[in-house]
Structure 1
Amino acid sequence: MYDLKELEAFAVVIRSGSLSLSARELDLPKSTLSRRIRQLESSVGQPLLRRESNQLIPNEAGRVFYKYCNEMLVLAQQGSEALNELRENITGELVLRSHEAFIRGWFAQVAETFMTHHQGVNIRVHTQTQAPSDQADGVCLWLGDPGESPLRQELLGSLTQGVYGHPDYLNARGRPQNPGDLGQHTWVDLLGNQPGSPALTLHHSRHGIYPLQPPVSCLQFDQYCLQGDAIVRKQGLGLMPHWMVERRLQAHPGTLELCLPEWRGPSLPVWLLYPHGSLPRRVRAFLSHVRNSIPQGWCDRHAA
């Protein structure tokens, strides 16, 4: 039976081609690393590496063995994780992805809170500007329509929207009294709401639906935080989720004002995306953690 430390040493040397670099990566003395390589070669009964131009490269036997070496290391890791599933502690690596609208502040806090309760988990967080097409082992929080996806889609709630501007901009340009007045203002938009695309609609409890075709945007962004920054810099009016504005106002009071408060834009659904089938315990635990952390500002999931 091969020693896992020797297999790991061999795999790292193959990838780096250098004993010095491999020793630093593994945090080992070069002498210890060399000894593990020699012991592995003794176990397999033949040399696996040769030196060429100051690099260590695999010989024919090394190339053949490297494939099986990787498979043995992967199986060992999977076996360790499977055994950890039987223990009370939740461990392993958790890959999280989040729509950019949630990544600053709220989602990071959710991930940090989870780690305080499960310190054996290693979390990697990625910002998403497009819905993921694959999520082999992890969770994605998404805002809006995720489109066609092989992932399971769980609706968490929805964000209502309204038209916002900076108070100084509104004092200078005037406050719109009805949706028709918006055509007189500069519009700060998100990419995708292009001229000629289906019109946005504003909703009123008594007056019904108003199809809104904003003027050609002088500024368009692919992120809500950048759109909000532009509105705060008095560049114009824009449609933003109320929940995001409320969080911004907690940190920067008085920087945004709701226009046409009785009119609201389309609601944006909030989704959890994750693989079908049996999930690792750490993924199941994080899904439960997110469900228990849904903000009060999100509408009931049936309202999306």
Structure 2
Amino acid sequence: MHDFDELAAFDAVMASGSLTRSARELGLAKSTLSRRISQLESRLGQTLLRRQANRLIPTEAGLLFHDYCREMLRLASRSREALADLAEAVRGRITLAVHSSLARSWAAGVAEDFLARHPEVELTLQAREQAVCSPESQCVQVWLGEVPTEASLRSEPLGRLARHLYASPDYLARHGAPAHPEALAHHAWIDLLGTTHAGLTLHRSDQSAFCFRPPRSRLRVDLPVLHVDAIARGQGIGVLPEWIVAAREAHHPGELVACLPAWRPTPLAVTLLYPYGQRPRRVDALLDCLRRAVPEAWRP
């Protein structure tokens, strides 16, 4: 029977190549970590690690055994989760990855509510610019916009964010307000991550549409908060979700003005992404919390 403390010690050193770093990460004395690995090698009758320069590298036996070691640690973790579920306890670690446009304005509050409801859970909140598409990902994700076609995850619609064209009052005072989408070609355009460089279709309530190809942006930004800032500071016109503008206007009234009120871009979908199959209780609890927290403004 293997000792799981010894397996964890070996796995940690395989990842870092250093006894000192692994001991610090595990919260152990370096001598304790070294002893656990020596005991594991003694049980197996094989040398698993050897020193080369300033690193510990695996022997052939170490490379072979590491795959089994990781599988045993995974099974041990899953067994603990299963027992926790059986005890109807919501505990353990979970990661919530959210599109950066929604991280501070919405997800931070959801995370606080979730932790208050479940005191035995550890939550990592990540703001991302790209969705993780791998089915091996165990995190829960909230994505804004089109879901990547390669995403092998369960997708669940949460809502839609209406969008509009915005500029600052100062910019419009200097350059005039466009009276028709055709006039946008003569204005400075602020682009976010190239999302409009291929063209932007604007729709009107009478079902007519106008396909607008924005001029080349002299200022391009890669973070939504920088996008809003640039437009609010009079750098040009750009597309923003109305819900995000409303949240900013609550703190900085009068910074943003809607342009061409009769014309609107297609709304952005808000989608919940999570792995297929049986889920730990903490994941279901987080999914329920996210669903309850959807603002009315996102609902069709």
TM range (shorter): 0.7 to 0.9
Change in CA separation of 1:94 and 1:208 when aligned onto 2, cut-off 3 Å: same
Contact 2:201-2:209 at 8 Å conserved across structures:
no
Contact 2:199-2:212 at 8 Å conserved across structures:
no
Write the deviation string for residues 183-238 of structure 1: whole angstroms up to 9, x where unpaired: 442222331322xx3442232x3474333343443333344322211111101112
Contact 1:13-1:19 at 8 Å conserved across structures:
yes
* 2:193 equivalent to 1:193: no
Contact 2:144-2:271 at 8 Å conserved across structures:
yes
The answer for the alignment partner of 1:209 in structure 2 is 209
Give the Å deviation of 1:18. 4.1
Write the deviation string for residues 111-140 of structure 1: whole angstroms up to 9, x where unpaired: 232122223323333333334322432222
Which of 162, 165, 174 is 2:164 aligned to?
A: 162
- Superposed counterparts of 1:1-304, under 5 Å: 1-45=1-45, 48-50=48-50, 53=53, 56-59=56-59, 61-136=61-136, 137-148=138-149, 149-190=151-192, 191-194=194-197, 197-203=198-204, 205-206=205-206, 208-300=208-300
Contact 2:202-2:263 at 8 Å conserved across structures:
no
Give the Å deviation of 1:17. 4.3
The count of corresponding residues between Structure 1 and Structure 2 is 297
Relative to the length of structure 1, the TM-score reads 0.85
Give the Å deviation of 1:152. 2.0
- Consecutive unaligned residues of structure 1, counting only runs of 5 or more, are none
SS at match of 1:297: helix
Task: Identify the range of structure 1 (48-57 vs 4-13) with the bigger mean alpha-carbon deviation.
Answer: 48-57
Task: Identify the range of structure 1 (108-117 vs 126-135) with the bigger mean alpha-carbon deviation.
Answer: 126-135
SS at match of 1:279: coil
Relative to the length of structure 2, the TM-score reads 0.86
SS at match of 2:90: coil
Give 1 or 2 for the bigger CA radius of gyration: 1
Task: Identify the range of structure 1 (144-153 vs 13-22) with the bigger mean alpha-carbon deviation.
Answer: 13-22
SS at match of 1:193: coil
Contact 2:94-2:124 at 8 Å conserved across structures:
yes
SS at match of 1:158: strand
Aligned CA-pair RMSD: 2.7
